[in-house]
Amino acid sequence: MLMGRSAEKATIDQLLADARSSRSSVLVIRGEAGIGKSALLDHAAAAAADMRVMRCAGVEFESTLPFAGLHQLLRRLTDRLDCLPAAQAQALRAALGLGSAAGGDRFLVGLAVLTLLADLAEEQPLLCLIDDAHWLDQSSAEALLFAARRLETERVAIVFAARDLYAPEFPAPGLAELRPSRLDSAASADLLALYAADLDHHRRAHVLREAEGNPLALLELTTAQRQGRAASPYPAISTTSKIEQAFADRISRLPEQTRTLLLVIAADDSGDPATVFKAAARLGAAVADLEPAERHSFVHLHEDRLTFRHPLIRSAVYHSAPASRRFAAHRALAASLHNDRAAWHLAAATTEPDEHVAAALERSARRAQDRGSHAALATAYERAAALSPDLRDRGRRLSAAARAALEAGQVEHADSLAERASLHLTEPVLLGRMAEVRAMVADLQGALHKAHSILSHAAQSLIEVAPDTAGRMLVQAAGSAWVAGDLSAAEKAADQARTLPAARRARAMAHLASTDVAQWSAAVRELDEEEPESSLRAAVWAACLTAFLRDDQRALRRAFTVEQKCRTQGAIGVLPHALLALSSSQVNLGRHREARASGLEGMRVAENTGQFRIRAHLAAVLAHLAAVAGERERHAELEAIMETVDLPDLRHEAARSMIMLELGLGRCDAAAERVADHTVEHELPGSWLADYVEVAVRAGRRETADKAFTRYVTWADHIRQPAIDAIVSRCRALMADDRKAEPHYQHALRLGSAPFEHARTQLHYGEWLRRAHRRVDARPHLRSAVETFQRLGATPWADRAGSELRATGESRTASHHEPDLLGRLTPQELQVVRLAATGLSNKDIGAQLFLSPRTVGYHLYNAYPKLGVASRGELANLDLVG
């Protein structure tokens, strides 16, 4: 019985009710050993009699084996894999050891798990219970958490239970948590009254004092009292240790052969009876020796697996045995197996360098690579390195471990492994690869100057022996310095590369950091004209270069193409980069709602995949949109995300979006103060300078306006794009004498620009016409501006244009000739509807948006009434272009 757990049971009951009502939910139960986490999972299973229940548990020894936890959870569902989208099925088969490597993104397995769980939940609400999640192998934990974070309407509930003391961490940021407290004195007394009525008052008081409200401690220390032993021989130790000691004391009274059999079960951790009994026979134990352990409820056979009643029993069995007996158990298991587990059991029984065991682990590492588990690959290579007698082999294996750890997202560990590998490596090229790993780590952590320094130093030793590698590293070094805003460091990297084939590319990369517009634009054009590489990341870079040149339509096409490739190939790790390029291009073209949808998805995926720098850059795009919409609170939230990464361009983006916010809200003096804080001569120019011009003109700061305008014109002359020239003309009109402004406004309108910028020009021209008492002429421009601003969700700008329109004597502020369909949809609905309009099925849409088919159906169901349609067949007749 669960004493004193009414609140915890209510939380779980609500979780199950939500799943039954198509509201998926996830819960992480955290607490010390014995606090009742497993009991709460049992309560969930019992309360879910009408649901499909799937269970698995992390196991300490299996934490090094690729996808061991996932295999345990899904082992009876392999016949369902054919129903998954092809790329997902291939990835999950590889993860479960049922097929060749998928060669795709490491998060594609998580997407496959999401789709599989959603498919199961279509038949019956689903409950997944994962006990001892802190012992899950990283690949399984990563896949399950990725799926958990993307649950919406699938009728799925997932509950993780993880120990938070004396165990590895189980980080699950963003997921709901439940922390069962220790039982109060009344609940503890009730529990003892139920289970220990035979103990006298003195012994019950002793147990209450020692257990300190831990339910399992209450029960196990009660058993110790019944057997006439002290509640704890070490009163000062933790509750967890007291429980484990109580178990160890009881286990020590079992027959020797039974203890041997329990030790093999604890060392094996797979629970496979055939393996256990085969290994135990080598140590003199047999099946019959299991009976005393079953009688004491230490272990039981459940679903063809030998399972300990509680993880602390396993721990007590294993750690109370002498090292010699533990090693013997592992050797017996290794001799009974012919798979990766055999290699790990050999490693567990080996304390000295042994090339035979190291080579076996290396073979295990290669199989982990085939299954797509970079985390297991890193662990296997690291352990193989530790057992390598030859220092060169040790360095080579540590090098492989470092690269795998980086791919697995173990950033700090990858850096440590690369440093350790470098101590044993002598080959310059291998040392260079380790430098690249450490530089990538520094880059991911935002330490761009450190990345530049590592690359520059390492490249110097490779110039003679490996010029191509050295050149590539120096291009990367120049790029790191550019992102850090350090022109001097970028130039130094280019100077180092002057004798190499990559000299021109390094010089061009360095000049991206130049504040000289001519130098900067020449560099961008040179890089843009290079033959694009085949990789997705190179394609994203090509889209960014085109965007720098403000060739917005071409940039949009490039970004859209690489985004689609990421989706079809399941490259979830690259997708946030593609969505950043796409959303930026959409903003430049005035497709604000599309940009918001792309940016929000990009941020969500970047957070799920631990790419926090890209997340901050996507937040910058969304902050600009929030500023245009006048959303102060949302802007502040996004600005806080941007501030998590300390980079010059992000600081500038934050300032620029704040200036746009103040400008839209009519706080020109406040905006002008922010403009005054920035020296435009020392920043790369861009379209944001037009905002500086407007702010300075409206605040009466002519000198600031002149500086910003001069810089903007210089940039526009090198960009040579009609849309940019139109904004130049608008700025000329704002700065001109009233008698000379009109031709500039008219020229700007003839050239045309993106909808938001065109509406701003119409607003300014309408204001100018009204001040000139030409109210009739002003109305069409102001009316059009109001409608455009409303369509884009630029509320403060629409209000401002509406006020001007009313001032001309027109009572209505906008004429809606047709409904704003896009404005009715959420960003997610917009993406789903557009794909559905092309004829894709829910499963196909889910595969592209990394959602379950049921969630896709949910968004369509919500979108149809907003759009006035009854089926997906009618979507093709709607104008769904932003």
pLDDT tens-digit profile of 768-794?
999 999 999 999 999 999 999 998 999
**CATH code matching the domain that covers 6-178, chosen among 3.40.50.2300, 3.40.50.300, 3.40.50.720, 3.40.1160.10:** 3.40.50.300
Q: How far is CA 51 from CA 17, 29, 215, 316, 404, in A?
A: 11, 20, 28, 35, 39
User: Which residue type is seen at 169?
Assistant: E
pLDDT at 532: 65
Question: Angle CA(115)–CA(29)–CA(80) in degrees, nearest 5?
Answer: 20
* pLDDT of residue 861 exceeding 80: yes
Q: Give the residue from 771, 796, 767, 791 showing the smallest Cα distance to 781.
A: 767
pLDDT at 141: 94
Mean residue pLDDT across the chain: 89
Residues, the chain: 882
Q: Which residue has the tokens 């560990």?
A: 413
Instruction: Count CB neighbours of 768 within 10 A.
Output: 20
Lowest mean pLDDT among 304-313, 458-467, 705-714, 770-779: 304-313
The larger pLDDT score, comparing residue 66 to residue 583, is at: 583
Provide the angle, in degrees to the nearest 10, between the axes of the packed helices 340-348 and 355-370.
140
Q: Which of the 8 DSSP states describes residue 183?
A: P
pLDDT at 56: 92
User: Is residue 11 within 8 Å of 41, Cβ to Cβ?
Assistant: no
Q: Cα(270)–Cα(626) distance, rounded to whole angstroms?
A: 52
Q: Give the residue from 523, 520, 488 showing the smallest Cα distance to 506.
A: 523
Q: Give the residue from 109, 48, 37 showing the smallest Cα distance to 73.
A: 109
DSSP β-bridge partners for residue 162: 30
Which span out of 127-131, 527-531, 668-672 was modeled with the highest average pLDDT? Answer: 127-131
**pLDDT class for 236, splitting at 50, 70, 90?**
very low
Share of the chain above pLDDT 90, in %: 57
Q: Cα(193)–Cα(362) distance, rounded to whole angstroms?
A: 56
| Phi, psi (degrees; rounded to nearest 5) at 710 | -60, -45
User: What is the tens place of the pLDDT at every residue in 341-353?
Assistant: 899 999 999 999 9
User: Is residue 842 within 8 Å of 856, Cβ to Cβ?
Assistant: yes
User: Is residue 243 within 8 Å of 34, Cβ to Cβ?
Assistant: yes
Q: Cα(455)–Cα(418) distance, rounded to whole angstroms?
A: 14
User: Is residue 29 within 8 Å of 170, Cβ to Cβ?
Assistant: no
| CATH classification code of 822-877 | 1.10.10.10
pLDDT at 882: 47
Enclosing H/E stretch for 627: helix 612-629
The larger pLDDT score, comparing residue 676 to residue 478, is at: 478
The larger pLDDT score, comparing residue 490 to residue 64, is at: 490
pLDDT at 61: 80
User: Is residue 402 within 8 Å of 435, Cβ to Cβ?
Assistant: no
Contacts of 720 (CB under 8 A, 6+ apart): none
pLDDT at 411: 84
Q: Give the residue from 416, 401, 411 showing the smallest Cα distance to 368.
A: 401
- The mean pLDDT value for 213-235 works out to 70
- The mean pLDDT value for 448-452 works out to 92
- The mean pLDDT value for 707-732 works out to 94
pLDDT at 237: 53
CATH 1.10.240.10 given to domain 721-817: no
Q: Cα(145)–Cα(314) distance, rounded to whole angstroms?
A: 26
The larger pLDDT score, comparing residue 228 to residue 377, is at: 377
* pLDDT of residue 606 exceeding 90: no
In CATH terms, the fold of domain 256-333 is Arc Repressor Mutant, subunit A (1.10.10)
**pLDDT class for 652, splitting at 50, 70, 90?**
confident
pLDDT at 539: 92
**pLDDT class for 683, splitting at 50, 70, 90?**
low
Q: Is 306 exposed, middle or buried (0-12, 13-18, 19+ CB in 10 A)?
A: buried
* pLDDT of residue 355 exceeding 90: yes
Which two tokens mark 267?
A: 């060392």
In a 3-state reduction of DSSP, which class is residue 519?
helix
- The mean pLDDT value for 584-606 works out to 93
User: What is the tens place of the pLDDT at every residue in 382-428?
Assistant: 999 999 999 999 999 999 999 988 888 788 899 999 999 999 999 99
**pLDDT class for 101, splitting at 50, 70, 90?**
low
**pLDDT class for 817, splitting at 50, 70, 90?**
very low
User: Is residue 292 within 8 Å of 256, Cβ to Cβ?
Assistant: no
Q: What is the pTM of this model?
A: 0.80
Q: Give the residue from 160, 106, 109 showing the smallest Cα distance to 130.
A: 160
**pLDDT class for 819, splitting at 50, 70, 90?**
low
* pLDDT of residue 509 exceeding 90: yes
Contacts of 130 (CB under 8 A, 6+ apart): 55, 56, 57, 58, 69, 73, 136, 144, 158, 159, 160, 161
- The mean pLDDT value for 4-25 works out to 93
* pLDDT of residue 232 exceeding 60: no
pLDDT at 231: 46
What region, left, alpha or beta, does residue 213 occupy, with left being phi > 0 and alpha being psi -120 to 50 degrees? left
The larger pLDDT score, comparing residue 391 to residue 191, is at: 391
- The mean pLDDT value for 501-505 works out to 92
User: Is residue 290 within 8 Å of 299, Cβ to Cβ?
Assistant: yes
* pLDDT of residue 234 exceeding 50: no
pLDDT at 233: 47
> b/e per residue, 776-814, with b = 16+ CB within 10 A?
eebbebbbbbbbbbbbbbbbbbbbbbbebbeebebeebb
The larger pLDDT score, comparing residue 12 to residue 819, is at: 12
Q: Is 868 exposed, middle or buried (0-12, 13-18, 19+ CB in 10 A)?
A: exposed
pLDDT at 245: 84
Lowest mean pLDDT among 11-20, 448-457, 677-686: 677-686
